[in-house]
Structure 1
Amino acid sequence: MTTPLQDQAPSPTELDLAVDGMTCASCVARVERKLGRLPGVTAEVNLALEQAHVVLAEPTTEQDLLDAVASAGYTARVLARPGGGATAVPHANHDPDGHPDVDAEHALSGHGHHPGHTGDADTSAPTADRGAVLRRRLVVASILTVPVVVLSMIPATQFPGWQWVVAALATPVVTWASWPFHTAAFRAARHGSSTMDTLVSLGVIAASLWSLWALLLGGAGEIGMRMQPTLIPRLGEDAGMGHSLPELYFEVAAVVVTFLLAGRYAEHRARRSSGDALRSLLELGAKEAALVTIDDSGRRTERRVPAADLAVGDLFAVRPGEKVATDGEVVEGVSAVDASLLTGEPVPVDVAFGDAVSGATINTSGALLVRATRVGTDTALAQIARLVSRAQTGKAPVQRLADRISAVFVPIVMVIAVATLGVWLAIGASGGLTTGEVQAAFTAAVAVLIIACPCALGLATPTALLVGTGRGARLGILIKGPEVLETTRRVDVAVLDKTGTITAGRMSVTEVVASGTSREEVLTVAGAVEGLSEHPIARAVTDAAAAAGRPLPVVTNFVSAAGFGVSARVVRDGGAARVVVGRPSWVGEQASVPAEVADAVARLEATGATTVVLAVERGSGLVAVGVVALADELKPTSRDAVAQLRALGITPVLLTGDQEATARTVAAQVGIDRVIAGVLPEGKVAEVERLQREGHVVAMVGDGVNDAAALAQADLGLAMGTGTDVAIEASDLTLVRGDLVSAPTAIALSRRTLRVIKQNLFWAFAYNVAAIPLAALGLLNPMIAGAAMAASSVIVVTNSLRLRNAP
């Protein structure tokens, strides 16, 4: 008995289904329609991920959902269940031998798997095994098609019995190699629909069956027969045989299959990594944890355990350089934690007793003892994973241009072919049908189907995409798929992350203020003392001092006050003096601070800079003598990049987790007017959604895990190649060089690629519109129709090659 899902979790419930067998936008529409007919069910289906995100407002069983998908002609299984961890990314299971469980691997990659699935039924699915199936079929079809075309189109090569060789070579192509097209067409027909696969399958079947009839029963199998390509079908004679022979169209069917497989394989390669963002997120977390147990006598023991085994309340140790195993609270120790993974802010966060830390962040200095407060799917990292998954699945399915055309074109062509056959037979019947008239009728109908086979339509997108992405790769831009191109045309707002995108993502000294001494002396002494500290800010000060070229003095009696600063004795010219370097408030508790120094701190911090104060021993006490300001430095091309975005008609917006003052300073430097600061990953997604609700088409440029969900939610996601893998995988475009100026270049290249695709589709469609009437009137031999079809493909490819010099 199936239990209603609402008995397991409060209403409304959300869950994800993996759906197998979808090949085009009409498939998506059918699945959504079938699921939507269930009471209280709302579904969004993503073709690239092969997932359906289902919202249940009323009690509904899992089986009802699976049956609804099955009624549309597809298979499905539940990826995430209510109460079982609200994430569509379960951990991979292993068999007793340690090998990953196949189902878990499919779930992890975001793609479904079900018993009996062979990978043959869907040539569009992005999973790796189906890519191998496509590649194998394409290789075999290509090898067999070349001699078929040569023998059929060049009479000089037609030796006695050539037609039987052609039939033998073409048969595997029109059956085994094209089987995915036939099964997809049958599935669509069974549910009263048609796709581009329908026309491919009909054309291939019609050409093959006619050729087999001509070969076996029509006399074309006679040894010594030759076939001459002609523009207008001949009914009275054939190449020296002295009587009418029907034409063979094996080469047409083989060429159609081979070209379409090539286009489908190219498209598959652009889509196969759709689910890698979620896998990358999981891999960011710590794999092991140092579990600490304390017995009644207070003695501690420590042992290494898998991080997934931690429970709420467990104590675990985090040493310098290690990742925090899970979300928790510091119960012992002080340190600086690099939380840029989640917050995007480059300055490490100082933590001590009672402070919260997040899993996957990095402990940079002191040792910590942490009590786990959230584990598994409740952690901040898992929440970001859910955001990425939800944003990707929730994207409106982008229908491919070729599918949109074929949705109308395919039924029309089928009607024209049937009408052509009927009209020719009716005309012949008025005077008594002869064999020649019947052949003429079938020849014209077959010519309509062959000339209409959408080879050029199928190549229009992938060839332009391949050339465009190749050019993009040379420019340091990776375009992930044809869906991306449509979005670039409409983008009017670009949301830019700050750290690692506009700025370099590392702290550097921007200004030194001195009081009663020189700026060089302030930097030299501060750099010498900070050189013994592990804190990232200290390292930036030391690097700046070393770059200045002055010798650093000897430092003794070094003491670190974690989270506040350091103190030491500096030995110089035979004497030694106590020195303190650290936070202004901490230094102010120990030293007198001149007004000049206090004013400098206030001025610099107002711009968003991080300040470090240097105090030295003078007489009986410490006196503050200088301020070192640090900030995340701008990338040199950021200002030009913003200007280029504006030139493309795109409004830039700065969106960052950093503080308001810092964000506004950076925005002013690069020419951005609108600033949204202090937002966490959830806030970034919310801001992108708000802009979308306002009617904007939003591009997001970022580099970190904290940007991943926003990159997925945005209409167009652009990830800096110097960023994290999860950000790159969640994006639509990757800027390999990590240079913001690549963003407007990428958008310009994408827009031009889309323009070429539209030109390709126009010419492919115009070719069909012009040629179909000729075929229907009997003025076009199907063999010449096949050659013309190949010529249209050459035009499409040639036009696409113009992108080699883009943008």
Structure 2
Amino acid sequence: MTIHTDLHLSIQGMSCAVCVGSATKALEELDGVTEVKVNLATESADLQLATPATPGSVAIALDRAGFPARTSRAVLEIEGMTCASCVGRVDLALAALPGVTEVNVNLASETATVHYFDGMITPADLLAATASTGYTAHLRDASAPPDMGARKEAEAATLRRDVMIAAALTLPVFLIEMGGHLYPPLHHWVAATIGQQVSWMLQFLLTALVLTFPGRRFFTKGIPALLRRVPDMNSLVAMGSGAAFLFSTVVTFFPALLPAASRAVYFESAAVIVTLILVGRYLEARAKGRTGQAIARLIDLAPKTARVLRDGIEREIPADELVLDDIVLIPPGARIPADGVVTEGSSHIDESMITGEPLPVAKTQDDPVTGGTVNGTGALRIRTSAVGRDTTLSQIVRMVQDAQGARLPIQSLVDGITLWFVPVVMGFATLTLLIWLAVGPAPALTHALVAGVAVLIIACPCAMGLATPTSIMVGTGRAADLGVLFRKGDALQALQSATIIAFDKTGTLTLGKPTLTDLHLADGFDRANLLRLVGAVEAQSEHPIAHAIEATARAECGPLPNAQDFRAQPGFGIRATVDGHSVIVGAARLMAREKIALGELEDQAATLAVDGKTPLYAAIDGEIAALIAVADPLKPTTRAAVAALHDMGLKTAMITGDAAPTAHAIAREAGIDHVEAELLPRGKVKALAALNTDTETLAFVGDGINDAPALASADIGIAIGTGTDIAVEAADVVLMRGDLTGVVNAIAISRATMRNIRQNLFWAFAYNTALIPVAAGLLYPLFGLQLSPMLAAGAMALSSVFVVSNALRLRNAKSPIQKDAT
């Protein structure tokens, strides 16, 4: 059946009729979109949606057209989800709301992240949709840190109390009933003292207390879900333990209703089922609390208070009350509460939590400092430049949190199976019951009850729902410990399949702090005057090579004149006017474009490039003036990182705008397999496309503005976090530290996490595939054995604990380059 939905979108970036036409065309080209009306005045679009179009596909189409729809993001904290079926129902309910473009419900973190078009729905609608599925949700405060550990600690405390109560009530029931089977004298003693009927009545009372108090949660959640025809794990437990209890109650108080051969009680099964599952949930809650330790450690880096100077008065305030341009006093040994700039004092700052570098960094007036880092022995005053959610530490926390809540492509397959798993299990349990009643040996009713209850209990899909998100939470947390942030969840899965790692050169493979090594003058030019003019132009540029030339010019010539009409031409060079002279500095291709002959300097440049130096040319008033050579040494860890990538079976490449001889020299030194040099930013994208064949998966590592297109176009973009914000925003993975050890760590963690997920999924599915037939009675015709519901409950609880415990092993994942492991 085709469902039609009306959408009203607010669109960004439209400024003219051409924009309207482009946005309209992008929408009309989507299969299923009709009646498109784009309005420039209101910056909005109205359209009708039908299958196969979705709000998500509309959002993607507008993004690609360059006119993104305004969207909002909400994170709901959901109570009561226990299995993959719960996740599926909440996901479907939220995704069905008009205007929702993306939903990710995470069982491990017990959250739902929802992206939706502004104005179409409100957070209240999201809460109502969640409530309609039987689960309570709360909107997470965007300014509050996640409290997964605290919530799980409180939940574990409640469960521990309930487990103790359930165990105390269950133990006498178990001893009376099962003890008599295991030790016949006990059975005779009970019969001779209190008698069988009184014994059954005592078991009834104790089991009723177990189900009414610690076990109440299964019935208050499972029965309503069953009545709504959306059964979950709680429904299976309620039906299994309830059936055993009700059958035993009939045997105890109304024995005449049943054949004599079927008069046996299973109170111990009902009580033990509830107790064991509560034990499993308690262990699971404790383990889940540990999955969020990475975020907790990051949050703990931020001090809770700050000493500020306001109106000349020094006072201590909560750190979250800091505002921009506050003057904050940082005593020796204190953590810095926010990002800022030093206004007074000097000290050394331990920045290892950001950079991974163990040596403290000297800071003095006008130097930037980062919130969460530790001051050394000097006292500082800083002016805040970023506070609250805008600090570097808060952004890192959000990246880790988003990665931990990510939905990997593999999860879609799992969700598709588990959503229908519980109804199928209930049908199988019913079929098992009927078969036993039809062909089972006497007492058939007893055998049928045992088999049906065992199937219901053993098939709870908790382990399936936890298999993927728990591994993601722990894996991404460990990655953060190793200095790797996965900004986009699917990168965690994609990176394990990478076959080629391509690098930018400057600032990625090299230190990005080049020094001027050679200066060859053309006839008629003076070194001091040329450095003075060229240094003035380079002082306007942010490029590392420019800083190297500027530093030499200032050292030799002192203060530099001002440059006017400065223009940067990415991939070519720069130009400006200094003291009335037209000055051009750049690569050979810039000189060729300006039709400036290089003369004998061209041969000298080739020699310098073979030595791994970057040759540049300077021209004054249209005449070649000098050949300038700059050398940028490799980072200390580059060779080891490239070697480690080769050991992992990966190919490496360098994609750079630098001169070919220089690039090849650096590649030889680093051990890079393939080189593409002298490329403009657009050329880097084409070079990546040529490498990225159908049989290859390519990751690109870069740090500069000119790397942003390549980072965005690669299968996986990896940005050096010490680089520019534009590069970081374009990347899928961010390395907090400036060396390439992070690339090795990212791939190692990706592989370890995906391997862990596959182990969990194999266990979860194999466990159910193997044990459901056993619970149904497969072994009875062969060996006369029937699986007890108590053992089924224990196996089910242990399966979830196994999956979470296996995921927690990722906390000990090691860096292939051991010296950088933390």
The normalised TM-score by structure 2 is 0.54
Alpha carbons of structure 1 residues 637 and 190: separation in structure 2 relative to 1, 3 Å:
farther
CA RMSD between the two structures: 7.2
Alpha carbons of structure 1 residues 760 and 278: separation in structure 2 relative to 1, 3 Å:
closer
Pair 1:12-2:70 in alignment: yes
Q: In structure 1, which of residues 65, 71, 76 is the aligned counterpart of residue 137 of structure 2?
A: 76
Pair 1:261-2:278 in alignment: yes
- 1:584-625 Cα offsets, whole Å, 9 max, x none, are 6665459xxxxxxxx9xx9999689xxxxxxxxxxxxxxxxx
Which structure 1 residue ranges, 5 or more long, are not aligned? Answer: 81-87, 91-106, 113-124, 221-234, 237-242, 294-299, 429-435, 479-483, 514-563, 565-581, 591-598, 609-626, 656-660, 725-736
Alpha carbons of structure 1 residues 589 and 350: separation in structure 2 relative to 1, 3 Å:
farther
Q: Report what 1:271 is aligned to.
A: 288
Shift of 1:209: 1.2
Pair 1:128-2:176 in alignment: no
CA distance in 1, matches of 2:801, 2:366: 64
Shift of 1:454: 1.4
Pair 1:751-2:763 in alignment: no
CA distance in 2, matches of 1:372, 1:802: 43
Pair 1:412-2:424 in alignment: yes
Q: Report what 2:103 is aligned to.
A: 44
CA contact (8 A) 2:76 2:140 kept: yes
- 1:648-684 Cα offsets, whole Å, 9 max, x none, are xx677999xxxxx99996996476876523259x999
CA contact (8 A) 1:35 1:43 kept: no
Q: Report what 1:561 is aligned to.
A: none
User: Counterpart of 2:648 in 1: which secondary structure?
Assistant: helix
Alpha carbons of structure 1 residues 425 and 629: separation in structure 2 relative to 1, 3 Å:
closer
* Amino acid aligned to 1:449: V
CA distance in 1, matches of 2:217, 2:654: 47
User: Counterpart of 2:140 in 1: which secondary structure?
Assistant: strand
Pair 1:53-2:114 in alignment: yes
Q: Report what 2:243 is aligned to.
A: 206
Alpha carbons of structure 1 residues 315 and 41: separation in structure 2 relative to 1, 3 Å:
same
CA distance in 2, matches of 1:699, 1:183: 48
Shift of 1:79: 2.5
CA distance in 2, matches of 1:358, 1:742: 24
CA contact (8 A) 1:142 1:258 kept: yes
CA distance in 2, matches of 1:262, 1:494: 44
CA contact (8 A) 1:12 1:58 kept: no
Shift of 1:244: 3.2
CA distance in 2, matches of 1:797, 1:315: 50
1:700-711 mapped onto 2 (5 Å cutoff): none
Shift of 1:206: 0.8
Q: Report what 1:250 is aligned to.
A: 267
CA distance in 2, matches of 1:12, 1:175: 49
Alpha carbons of structure 1 residues 496 and 773: separation in structure 2 relative to 1, 3 Å:
same
CA distance in 2, matches of 1:357, 1:663: 37
Pair 1:772-2:789 in alignment: no
Q: Report what 1:518 is aligned to.
A: none
Alpha carbons of structure 1 residues 770 and 360: separation in structure 2 relative to 1, 3 Å:
closer
Q: Report what 1:32 is aligned to.
A: 91
Shift of 1:129: 0.9
Q: Report what 2:496 is aligned to.
A: 491
CA contact (8 A) 2:130 2:136 kept: yes
Q: In structure 1, which of residues 179, 196, 213 is the aligned counterpart of residue 233 of structure 2?
A: 196
CA distance in 1, matches of 2:269, 2:84: 27
Alpha carbons of structure 1 residues 662 and 261: separation in structure 2 relative to 1, 3 Å:
farther
Shift of 1:747: 3.8
Shift of 1:306: 4.9
CA contact (8 A) 1:17 1:54 kept: no
CA distance in 2, matches of 1:345, 1:605: 30
User: Counterpart of 2:113 in 1: which secondary structure?
Assistant: strand
Shift of 1:55: 2.5
CA distance in 2, matches of 1:314, 1:605: 50
Identity %: 27
Shift of 1:427: 10
CA distance in 2, matches of 1:194, 1:381: 42
Q: Report what 1:154 is aligned to.
A: 182
Alpha carbons of structure 1 residues 603 and 418: separation in structure 2 relative to 1, 3 Å:
closer
CA contact (8 A) 1:341 1:706 kept: no
User: Counterpart of 1:108 in 2: which secondary structure?
Assistant: coil
Alpha carbons of structure 1 residues 322 and 753: separation in structure 2 relative to 1, 3 Å:
closer
* Amino acid aligned to 1:198: S
Q: Report what 2:679 is aligned to.
A: none
Which structure 2 residue ranges, 5 or more long, are not aligned? Answer: 1-7, 11-42, 45-68, 483-488, 518-546, 559-604, 615-629, 656-661, 675-698, 815-822
CA distance in 2, matches of 1:382, 1:405: 37
CA distance in 2, matches of 1:676, 1:345: 20
User: Counterpart of 2:134 in 1: which secondary structure?
Assistant: coil
Equivalent residues, number: 616
Shift of 1:24: 2.8
Alpha carbons of structure 1 residues 321 and 205: separation in structure 2 relative to 1, 3 Å:
closer
CA distance in 1, matches of 2:664, 2:387: 33
Q: Work out which structure has the larger RCO, using CA pairs closer than 8 Å and 6 or more positions apart in sequence.
A: 1
- 1:415-440 Cα offsets, whole Å, 9 max, x none, are 34445666788999xxxxxxx99x73
Shift of 1:131: 1.6
Shift of 1:171: 4.2
CA distance in 2, matches of 1:466, 1:75: 22
Alpha carbons of structure 1 residues 62 and 456: separation in structure 2 relative to 1, 3 Å:
closer
- 1:74-121 Cα offsets, whole Å, 9 max, x none, are 2223334xxxxxxx2x3xxxxxxxxxxxxxxxx532569xxxxxxxxx
CA distance in 2, matches of 1:276, 1:334: 34
CA contact (8 A) 1:196 1:407 kept: no
- 1:206-249 Cα offsets, whole Å, 9 max, x none, are 112111221222279xxxxxxxxxxxxxx98xxxxxx5352222
* Amino acid aligned to 1:264: R
Pair 1:178-2:215 in alignment: yes
CA contact (8 A) 1:35 1:42 kept: no
Q: Report what 2:619 is aligned to.
A: none
CA distance in 2, matches of 1:801, 1:317: 44
CA distance in 1, matches of 2:805, 2:148: 34
CA distance in 1, matches of 2:180, 2:720: 55
